[in-house]
Amino acid sequence: MSRSPVRRLRTALGGVLAAGALALPLALSAAPAQAASTPDWLHVQGNKIVDASGKEVWLTGVNWFGFNADERIFHGLWSADMRTLTKGIADRGMNVVRVPISTELLLEWKAGTFSKPNVNEFANPELAGLNSLQIFEKWLAMCEEYGLKVFLDVHSAEADNSGHVHPVWWKGSITTEDVYEGWEWAATRWKTNDTMIGADIKNEPHGTQGSTERAKWDGSTDKDNFKHFAETASRKILAINPNWLVFVEGIEVYPKEGVSWTSTGLTDYHNMWWGGNLRGVRDFPIDLGANQDQLVYSPHDYGPLVHLQPWFKGDFDRTSLERDVWDPNWLYLHKENTAPLLIGEWGGFMDGGPNEKWMLALRDLITDRRLSHTFWVLNPNSGDTGGLLGYDWATWDEEKYALLKPALWQDGGKFVGLDHDVPLGGVGSTTGKSLSQVNGGGPTASPTPSVTPSATPSVTPSATPSVTPSATPSATASPAVGTCAVTYTASSWSSGLSGSVRLTNTGTTLTSWNLTFTAPAGVSVTQGWGGTWSQSGTTVTVTNAAWNGNLAAGGTADIGFNASHGGTAGTPTGFALNGAACTVG
């Protein structure tokens, strides 16, 4: 099937770059000091990302663009305070930031020449007189202070707001060797700083069978073979810093069985989003030799408001998307335990319709499978997706954040950071905790679910979720023991709320469970996660999912829901586990 290469243009609606290169002292190229007393480097085991002790971690973050663009600086600093924005990211539970840059910028930084940054120094007194590299490293220090981690993404060859539209990693005077040189400089620069945890080798390589230049994936060493380029760049990076994770995206098209890359036939290829086609890994996996345990594959996925792909026509749902799109293109790598996934970009407008339906389906997949991800995007000025912030760069889109929140790593009612020493949000944070404070060994005490898509239903955003047969506990459920505890937290806005429930079994082991509670008048559950949700009147019932039904004595289950309300959110009452009342703390 064919489609036109329609793609988003992320327009910068604010800020004018003041030109002029400034030569700076060579001493500026000295590497900064080490970031933390406890090393926070990560590596890979099977389809999981783990810390040095083997504890599973969950990267749940956000993108913030601008360093990749003409401005060569985070967008928003023309009006907003960088520290306030950074602390807001951490306080709201995002534990890693993907930062788009350009090869051109890395080479400029290496050479010590800088364009004057467009920064409102009245709003950012800490940044007064600093160049773009100094600002970036000031920001890294802020991230260390707030328990955030960072990885870079070469978004384009040239510093250009629309640079991502170019299909390959070289352009104009920027060669493939220049890309390698830029990455080697970055790997050396931040080699001892574990706030910087990795490199996304190249954003969204793409191009169709009819393109003059396009990215392919095969076993050759051809100039346009993205597999060879990514493998080579990763090996060069890891030769300098073997502690970094390397993130390798997909391409756009991949030939069907028996078809050569020389074919120009419109129906000879499998089509996917830019950067989203990882079918080639099955035939030609990335080989990093002794550093294979630093490899993470990183597809991108978007909804129908970015482009009306064929799979969005008709009555699509999570099951059809998983079967027809995600499984064959990238999810098989997770299911077959080949390697971890980090979905580097996903997000979009809250349209109350198909785009939101797609976003909820992918959010539920991410949450159920504990897939790492970085949401697109913090910036409000992403033309076809919008962002988590409003155009004042201060107000958060609470409805969109409520959709994202369940896909952020939480433990015991607090967000989890990737720093062993510093809680997410900084010392004294009331919303976050450090990696060392996590209960158990990782994001969840249960193993990664191995159920089929239909076994983990996704609740669509209807006013009242439908009741399935699964609302009744199975015959193997343990009897009610009358001993359970519930912690309930919520955030609300004008017409909605997002509630989180931490259920603790203080009795004997359960093999399945259901939790009931009474919703306040006017509150209607629209979707839920961590189980199968239903509502009848004011009575809400959630039955365990396939992967969290076994609840040991002292074990916990973190579940949650979004709901609408008529003006007052209120607080649920009457929590009961398998019919026996719970204490609420």
Q: What amino acid positions are annotated as catalytic residues?
A: 204, 345
What is the rounded CA–CA span in Å between residue 492 and residue 486? Answer: 19
Report, in angstroms and rounded to the nearest whole number, the Rg of the chain calculated over CA atoms. Answer: 24
Nearest to 373 by CA among 393, 383, 359: 359
Distance CA 85, CA 102 (A): 22
CA dist 558 and 579 (Å) reads 19
**Would you tell me how many other CB atoms lie within 10 Å of the CB of residue 122?**
9
d(CA 114, CA 137): 14
Contact of 149 with 197, CB cutoff 8 Å = yes
* Alpha helices in 92-246, H assignment, sequence order: 103-111, 132-145, 176-189, 226-240
Q: Rounded to the nearest 10 degrees, how much is the dihedral formed by the CA atoms of 284, 286, 289, 292? A: -130
Distance CA 157, CA 19 (A): 19
CA distances from residue 513 to 439, 458, 555 in whole angstroms, order as listed: 21, 19, 12
- Structural contact between residues 298 and 341, judged by C-beta atoms closer than 8 angstroms: yes
Question: By the 8 A CB rule, do 540 and 518 touch?
Answer: yes
What sign does the CA torsion over 108, 113, 117, 121 have?
positive
For residue 2, how many other CB atoms are within 10 A of its CB? Answer: 13
